[in-house]
Chains A and B, each alone.
Chain A
Amino acid sequence: MIASTRDRMQLGLLLGPATVFLAVFFLIPLAIMVVTSFLAPGLYGGVEWEFYPHNFGRIFGFADPAFEEFDPVYLEIFLRSVRIAVLTVIATLLVCYPAAFCISMMPGKWKSFCLFLIALPFFTSLIVRLFVWVLILRQSGPVNGVLLALGLIDQPLDLIYTEGAIILGMVYIFIPFMFMPIYASVEKLDWSLIRASQDLGAGPIRTFVRVILPLTAPGIIGGSLIVFIPALGNFIVPAILGGAKVMMLGNLIEQQFLSARNWPFGSALAMMVMSVMLVTMMGFVFVSGRRRSSMASLSGGQRGAQ
């Protein structure tokens, strides 16, 4: 395609600035972070230039014996972060999946209005949307107020600063992320296949598990992926709704950088977030690749007929 020097110059002009920008301010910083995670922390912040695997050792059980004994607290925080992220994905999915069906069955005008209402919060301040839940869940908030007034409890419950509060906050902010991919696959659903399944004698549950679920799987997988990644390394939600009680990787990283000033350890923690993300992504590529080939063999005839 590239015929002349003029073309080549034009391409360079279009491609060059952004490439240089991203190489300098994206790739190089990430590379420096990777290197930092293998360096020893200096005594007063900063780093010592020597190979030091104990940053990861502090997480996995081979901490530097010169400084400390292994403390499983970091591993606990890591596992808690993964658990919270997984539970967030499941909860968001359970909330959004039925809603996608409800909205896709609506008449046209209502449908687009509902989609607008779901997209709208995405454009509003994240911090404001999280702040609301502080108001709702705290001891003098409406939830405790109602429960006290009904006489169901004598003492206000500790709703905020719990894992549940973090998951609730994450579900609230990630709804648009999960809803849109699921909705896209529900909209494409071929209802004649569902009728066919019922005509052939399958009950509602069987139809759901064998027909509806596989057909909407791309949306479920895609939505789960784009919720899982930001949930895992999140630091705002636990900072606001988890307080000092429920710490996640994000808070721990922030602490290492802004107060403990142990940048190598902070970088190692960030590498943990990155590696879980990469493994998840590769799993996603693998699953969607396999699905595509199996779906193609299953519905090849039907596609060909269309």
Chain B
Amino acid sequence: MSLNWLFRGGLVAYTALFFAFIYLPLALIAVYSFNSNPVNMMTWEGFTTDWYWQVLGFKTTVSEAAMYIESTGQLLAALRNSIVIAFSTTLISTVLGTALALALYRYDFLGARTYRVLMFMPMLVPDIVLGIALLIFFVNAGVHLGIGTIIIGQCTFLISYVFIVVSSRLAGMDRSLEHASADLGANEWVTFRKVVLPQLMPGVMGGALLAFIISMDDLVITYFIAGTDVTTLPIFIFAMLRRGIKPEINAIAVMMLTFSFLVASLGLYLRSRQK
């Protein structure tokens, strides 16, 4: 019996360690972000919210030397680009990915199986390979690198994600309802709109949410095809990190973590309610 207790204790301890490994580092930045010491974050000098105010563009007592964003405008421009790109890619990839999933679900044509397998390719090809392939392609085609190329580049792999999420939803759907609707005299379009679409919607929304989140966070592919004048949020932070670390980056990191925690919690909560 005591061995059993020891075993259980060990399991609980391991799980605790596991989650500590995942979450303690994130808690650390949160603590650092409120430390007023501008030089060494390890030494606690007092509680302050100045870093947050500074990032948001307010005047604070923090000296200029401790900062490295020249203006909050740059950060906001990067954020705005990221949001514009994420909305565009989500729209395009959701429409195209859903159409593909529907086509493969409704029609059994020659090559449908190959198609299904090929749709995994954009997800499996390493980011960096796709990034440079697109860079070579756009430069050879004489396309100016910018928001347009980023949107196209991200869609190439986001379509796959949407396709897979929607396909799995379709696979779990009850086809007899469609037949019933047809038997009761509804035409194809009415059946699609009133029977298939409502059942499909959670899958489409899930795919869209996933596409949005991945788009907002994409660094590698965007990095190669962004050109010189467009910056997205992840690229902006990557560039900051390469220039050295100053405390305001903690505040930005904490705001981003909080935001994505809220969105992800909401998404996962909604999904759990559907079941």
Contact = CB atoms under 8 A, between A and B. Distances in A.
Interface of A: 1-2, 7, 11, 13-15, 17-19, 21-22, 25-26, 28-30, 32-33, 36, 95, 98-99, 101-103, 105-106, 112, 114, 116-121, 123-129, 131-136, 138, 140-142, 145, 172, 175, 229-230, 232-236, 239-240, 250, 253-254, 257-258, 263, 266-267, 270, 273-274, 277, 281
Nearest to A128: B253
Contact of B122 (A26, A124, A229): A26
Nearest to A11: B107
A124 to B, nearest CB: 4
Interface string B77-101: 0000000000000000000110110
Contacts of B29: 128, 131-132, 135
Interface string B191-220: 000000000000000000000010001011
Query: Which range holds the interface residue count of chain B?
Result: 35 or more
Contacts of A101: 11
Contacts of A7: 107
B interface, over-half SS: helix
A265 to B, nearest CB: 11
A118 B264 CA distance: 12
B190 interface: no
A135 B219 contact: no
B99 A136 contact: no
Contacts of A229: 124, 126
Given A25-B152, A125-B217, A126-B217, A142 B42 contact: yes
A33 B99 contact: no
Which A-B residue pairs are the 7 nearest by beta carbons? Answer: A123-B264, A233-B126, A29-B137, A14-B103, A29-B133, A18-B96, A132-B25
B125 interface: yes
Residue from A11, A18, A123, A263 with most neighbouring chain B CB atoms (10 Å):
A18
5 contacts: A11-B106, A28-B137, A114-B19, A124-B260, A230-B127
A168 B251 CA distance: 24
A25 B156 contact: yes
A175 B23 CA distance: 12
A22 B15 contact: no
B59 interface: no
Nearest to B107: A11
Contact of A22 (B102, B132, B159): B159
B140 interface: yes
B264 A114 contact: no
